[in-house]
Amino acid sequence: MTTASTQAPATRQLASHKDLPLQRLGSADALHFDFLPGGHLHAARHGSGVLLNLVLGCPLAGALHRVYVLAGTGDDQQVFSLIGPESTAAFSISENAAKWEADFDGLTATAIMSVSENGWQLSVDVNNNGDSEKEIQVVHGLDVGLAHQGAVRTNESYTSQYLDQRALDHADYGKVICTRQNLAVDGNHPWLAQTCAEGVSGFVTDAVQFFGFAINRGGAPEIFGDIPAADSRVYQGESSYVGLFAEPLQLAPAASGSRTFLFTYNGNHAAATDISDLESLVGAQPAPATDALADFQLQQSLLHYPAVAHGEDMSEDEVKELYPNELRMDEREDDGELLSFYHGKSTVHVATRAKEVQISRPHGIILRSGDSDYPEEDFLSTTCYGAGVINALTSIGHASFHRLYSVPRDKCGLMPSYGQRVWFQDADGDWNLLGVPSLFEMDLTACRWIYKLADRTIVVKNEVNKVKSEAKVDVEVIAGPETAFLVTSGLVVGINEYDDTATVEYQENGIHFECSDDSLAKKHFPKAYFQLDIDTTDAIAQLGGAEIIGGAASLPFSVIETKPAKAFAFTISGTARGEAPSKTEEQADLWSTVESCVRLSGSNSPAVERIDHILPWFAHNGLIHLTSPHGLEQYNGGAWGCRDVTQGSIELLLSLGRADSVKKILLEVYRHQYDQQGDWPQWFMLDPFGTIQQAHMHGDIPVWPLKAVAEYVEATEDYSILDEVLPWTNPDGFALTEKTGTLWEHLELNFKWIQKQCVEGTALISYGDGDWNDSLQPARPELKERMVSSWTVALCYQTISGLEKLCKQTGRSMEGLDGFSARIAADFRKFLIVDGTVCGFFLFNDDLQSGTPILHPSDETTGISYRLLPMTRSMIGSLFTEDEYKHHLGLIRENLLAPDGARLMDKPPTYRGGPQEIFQRAESAAAFSREIGIMYTHAHLRFIEAMAQTGNADDMLQAFEVVNPIGCVDTISNAKRRQHNVYFSSSDADVNDRYEAAEKYEDIKAGKVKVEGGWRVYSSGPGIYLNLLLTRLVGLRSDYGKVVIDPVVPNSLDGLVADTNWKGTPIKVNFTVGSRNFNPSKITLNGTELEAIGQDENPYREGGWIIDPEVFNSLLKEDGNVLDVVLG
């Protein structure tokens, strides 16, 4: 490390991929490997197309490619790194061979790698220089991507989910691990086989099996405690990594031995992996000559093998000193050990180190500055992880295109070069990376990491400004001596690290960052920049780049080094347009609105407190999804999905009383409607990136905007929106048209599209390129035109009924609309209800008069009998008759409900190793998670809505409970622990792969297999949850001006109190639950008994009260309103 007197150049250009010091093994047009100094693998490629590894190696932190030499067994085992970040091996390379050579404690190890036409080999020779016999085991590990670099770097977890891993048995080699890319890459399916010529004694297929989680950083891979068997099972996770454990060697003194790892690559493996693939393996070859190799020595940085300091566990007394208010929703071990809690009635949630080590997804949160509920170009968004990542993916202007800091790209936290990290100097003068804290505190706009260490306690806080586009980081030593700190930051300044150059200006008390002029961000935001300002200038020793920690100055990395101090602080800010908008603190009411949107109390049910605490967090998550679209796992984004934004986002904002922003959303969506066609892209970016969109869409997409407009007008009586004038989008190039039309004209074209998409001679909309379940996109062309989704038809019925109601209210008409919903209902029963049960899909024959039901008890092709979505949507939209509803509710209860919620189907689609026959992703995803795991939270939320619509109050409450992460181990019998303040988009069974899931699916439904939370935050689900709680459980909504009070409340919630608002006016709703759970018997507002002027229409139960709005509004006060509702 350089001294504090070193001065960084005032301005420097950061390096991109082309500037990295790389040496190549192999030919650029074939299989080749690019190495960084010291032999760290940057990229393994085939030609310019396929990236074989999953995570690009970093000049400062190395790569995930590893070779370990293990000496001895049990407690006496020594672990030596021959290839890896911690290795000090001498590295040399030519076009034909690469060599690593190192001396360990009594051992000399040499690895030689060579490439052939269809693969490569890596031979490891070990010499025993000691005076006693040693058992030696060589371990090889490689992260596997097998896709275009852009696809891999868009999301490593998603890539891994579609990599089929299979272990084959070879007569000589033992296990051979084969990886097939199931998502086509330019029409091909790359494939890689890995084995060891002398035999494989154990293997893993995911990095989590090998390395463990972030709490283990600073030590050897976790798997080494389980030698020699290793894990020896195929696990289809989210971090594709093949680890091979060669058969052990017994080396006498002065003896040597070798192990040769063999790799076979196939650029297009069309069929699934099977035993015949063993015939095509590349065999071992003599090691190439190495006398012409050139040294390419290591440039060691602080990040290659850092000392990691995790916070110590705190006693409960110590915790209460920091959090003196009541610990609520406290999560504990059976022995009483504290795991997590909420601090009093606030939104502050705290997780302990003991909790972090138990969960599969590290605690994380996305913070967003500003006060607006609608996307603004100058929002600052940043991601924080409990395991010591203070800032990641920090962005302004666009969540993907204008980023300052990078994101951790591996689930195990192996590379400290990603994101912003804090280090401290210990008493011996050594630098220690702060890892997992003793306590990780999360609030809606701030995080704190509290580290109790042996001789000091350090607190790091990151807080975004509620008005300005900035985040402030404070570091403080609250106990112990003054401490010197480093803040290291992996820079992006664009889209992805190393993709583009960027300019960094080191100022006296800050750092200024700008994207390259040819970057996407600069093209649209020429004055955009980021700025880091030091707030405590006296504490700073130096500002600079990677040269401070032993790297090259040009690398995209910044470093702050402080003098010994008790505290220091800095602020990160920026702008997209070059000048931040002027706002005042008085405008910052968004987050207070989020905190108080709907709060529950009363009742003796523990469900009330659990739901009350999660509501502000779900509102927060929903706002992130709308205004800075990305998530913790789905970290790339920045686009609006037409289906998503017209569901949960609109439902969220209506719940928050922010109708103006709903109107803006609807008009923006209709600006992206395709001219002449009437349909939409699947998703689109907001301006100025509006021409970036996916024109390919699923068949249900155009139904959602139409439904949303009708529901908006119903809720607000804003008829003026129908006359708003706006352009269209040209489907050729995606620019906005000069031609304009009223929103009503857009709606008319929208309806015409629906009519044209119906199967000829019917009112049934065709499947097109899919429906809500993205995994069930059709695999064959004929399925698009002749197949019908019963769910889309039910949705269309509900939407057209709402459009008919809108026309009736406004006195408008639309050609072909009259009677169209009745035609849908008639054809629904004629074709889609077969033997009394609705099918998931219906495939018409060529005559379009008959066909075959799919996902139905008579379906012998898929073997799947029931699909949830058409059943619940037909209840929500009142398409089912009462008898049909009762029949299908019975089917749901018997076949589709599990302890963790309502499942998409009664069994998962068949997986055959990746090739597709009927559906795309459902048959190609190798991991049993997300939609593939068939408990998708969004669909479960619509089950809640169906239960409210039909008056099944207990089912409704239970359904609300199981998607609330708070107390999940109490509300879900088979739940594993998970983070308690985020929305999980799925519930994923803890199985190894699709085959085990199919074998154990009845056990999964029965709750005999553990389940854990899926991807977090990025979903329209949180908004749906909030809206359902307000409009269905509490039961307040507006129907073209009429006040509807239609609560559905179970007996267990007698005494429930809901604090909310009615069109901006605060109101407290008290519930008394008697002999029934719906249809009030008495309602009073501020002491005055109300009278119903009608009853809300409902074919399945008695509807709620309709109240005269003039009477209701006349009784409202500015504050202190009390609405008493008696049920039964």
Consecutive H or E run containing 452: strand 446-452
Consecutive H or E run containing 367: strand 364-368
Please give the Cα distance from 914 to 925 (Å, whole number): 7
Alpha helices in 628-742 (DSSP H): 642-644, 650-655, 659-671, 703-716
Q: What is the dihedral of CA 626, 629, 631, 636, to 10 degrees?
A: 170
**pLDDT > 90 in the chain, percent:** 89
- Reading phi first (left if > 0) and then psi (alpha if -120 to 50, else beta), residue 106 is in left
| Token reading at 369 | 């500055």
Cis peptide before 288 (omega within 30 of 0): no
Exposed, middle or buried, 1098 (CB in 10 Å: 0-12/13-18/19+)? middle
| Token reading at 22 | 């790389």
Q: What is the pLDDT of residue 582?
A: 60
- The distance in angstroms from the start CA to the end CA of the chain is 75
Q: How far is CA 476 from CA 104, 455, 456, 568, 569, in A?
A: 41, 14, 10, 7, 9
pLDDT in tens, 584-634: 554 557 888 888 889 999 998 999 999 999 999 999 999 999 999 999 999
Residue 876 DSSP one-character state: H
Q: Which of 194, 186, 192, 196 is nearest to 266 (CA)?
A: 192
* pLDDT at residue 817 tops 50: yes
* pLDDT at residue 5 tops 70: no
Q: Which of 979, 986, 977, 980 is nearest to 1015 (CA)?
A: 986
- Please write down the HEC assignment for all residues of 287-302: CCCCCCCEECCCCCCC
Strand partners, 243: 141, 204
Are the beta carbons of 483 and 397 closer than 8 angstroms? no
Residue 993 DSSP one-character state: S
Nearest-5° angle of CA 766, CA 772, CA 775? 100
Q: For the chain, which residues make up each domain, given as ranges?
A: 65-90+98-144+155-283, 307-582, 638-757, 760-895, 901-1032, 1034-1127
Average pLDDT for 636-654: 96
pTM of the model: 0.96
Please give the Cα distance from 929 to 27 (Å, whole number): 38
- pLDDT band at 217; cut points 50, 70, 90: low
Q: How far is CA 623 from CA 411, 487, 981, in A?
A: 25, 30, 14
pLDDT in tens, 329-354: 999 999 999 999 999 989 999 999 99
Q: What is the dihedral of CA 737, 742, 747, 749, to 10 degrees?
A: -50
Exposed, middle or buried, 890 (CB in 10 Å: 0-12/13-18/19+)? exposed
Average pLDDT for 1017-1030: 97
325's CB contacts (< 8 A; 6+ apart) are 343, 344, 346
pLDDT in tens, 53-85: 999 999 999 999 999 999 998 888 899 999 999
Are the beta carbons of 413 and 217 closer than 8 angstroms? yes
Alpha helices in 338-417 (DSSP H): 353-356
307-582 and 65-90+98-144+155-283 share a CATH fold = yes
Rounded mean pLDDT of the chain? Answer: 94
**pLDDT > 70 in the chain, percent:** 97
Question: In terms of residues, how long is the chain?
Answer: 1128
- pLDDT band at 8; cut points 50, 70, 90: low
> CA quadruple 701, 705, 706, 708: dihedral positive or negative?
positive
* pLDDT at residue 833 tops 80: yes
Please give the Cα distance from 473 to 1030 (Å, whole number): 37
pLDDT in tens, 946-981: 999 999 999 999 999 999 999 999 999 999 999 999
Question: Going by CATH, does the domain composed of 1034-1127 fall within 2.60.420.10?
Answer: yes
Please give the Cα distance from 651 to 666 (Å, whole number): 12
Q: Which of 56, 362, 418, 360 is nearest to 208 (CA)?
A: 360
Q: What is the pLDDT of residue 3?
A: 40
Q: DSSP strand E in 712-832: where?
A: 725-729, 736-742, 787-789
Please give the Cα distance from 839 to 851 (Å, whole number): 12
* pLDDT at residue 2 tops 90: no
Please give the Cα distance from 699 to 801 (Å, whole number): 19
Exposed, middle or buried, 578 (CB in 10 Å: 0-12/13-18/19+)? exposed
Consecutive H or E run containing 592: helix 590-595
398-402, 708-712, 1043-1047: segment of lowest average pLDDT:
398-402
- Please write down the HEC assignment for all residues of 187-253: CECCEEEEEECCCEEEEEEEHHHHHCCHHHCCCCCHHHHHCCCCCCCCCCCCCEEEEEEECCEEECC
Residue 1079 DSSP one-character state: S
Alpha helices in 1019-1103 (DSSP H): 1021-1028
| Token reading at 407 | 């994101």
Are the beta carbons of 607 and 1053 closer than 8 angstroms? yes
For domain 65-90+98-144+155-283, the CATH superfamily is Glycoside hydrolase, family 65, N-terminal domain (2.70.98.40)
Query: What is the secondary structure of 884-905 as a DSSP string?
Result: HHHHHHHHHHHHTEETTEE-SB
**Measured in whole angstroms, how far is the alpha carbon of residue 883 from the centre of its chain?**
40
For domain 307-582, the CATH superfamily is Glycoside hydrolase, family 65, N-terminal domain (2.70.98.40)
pLDDT in tens, 491-537: 999 999 999 999 999 999 999 999 999 999 999 999 999 999 999 99
Please give the Cα distance from 578 to 89 (Å, whole number): 48
Q: What is the pLDDT of residue 230?
A: 58
- pLDDT band at 780; cut points 50, 70, 90: confident
Consecutive H or E run containing 608: helix 606-627
pLDDT in tens, 675-686: 999 999 999 999
Please give the Cα distance from 192 to 1079 (Å, whole number): 62
